[in-house]
Amino acid sequence: MAQERTLFIIKPDAVRRGLVGEILSRVERKGYSIEEMKMMNVNRELAGRLYFEHEGKPFYEKLISYITSGEVVAVLISGERCISGLRRIMGDTDPIEAAPGSIRGDFGFDGTMNLVHGSDSTESARREIQLFFEA
């Protein structure tokens, strides 16, 4: 099995709704470790670097506006196969499609304001961790 590191972001709607503790407890109960964590505001430049692969798509501006709309909690997570495991804990981007028991399935109600972000591959994880923790 592969020990991995990944970026996990608790987005502005989850912070505003007081879900940070609940979300982090789910991550820890799964057995993943929190290596670093910080509450911060994401500026437009950082948001553009995070979501660069979506630039030019119809939903890009909504993504940027949303992630910059309030405080986020950026978390560096490590653990056995944590990239795919966290994506399962997060649930489908569309909260209607997200499985009950997942973060988005239990707490989500909007596809854009979807509570959390997690890296989708080891390459993305390396790049995203550098943006938030090694810059």
**How far is 47 from 63, CA to CA, in rounded Å?**
8
- pTM comes to 0.94
pLDDT value of position 86: 97
Which pLDDT score, from 0 to 100, does residue 111 have?
Answer: 74
Question: What is the reported pLDDT for 135?
Answer: 57
Residue 128 to residues 122, 132, 133, Cα–Cα distance (Å): 10, 6, 8
Q: What is the pLDDT of residue 98?
A: 94
Where are the chain's structural domains?
Answer: 3-40+72-133
**Positions of the chain with pLDDT lower than 70, given as ranges:** 1, 135
Whether 79 contacts 32, CB under 8 Å: yes
pLDDT at res. 112: 74
pLDDT the model gives residue 113: 83
Query: In a 3-state reduction of DSSP, which class is residue 13?
Result: helix
- CATH class assigned to 3-40+72-133: alpha beta
Q: Which residues are catalytic?
A: 117
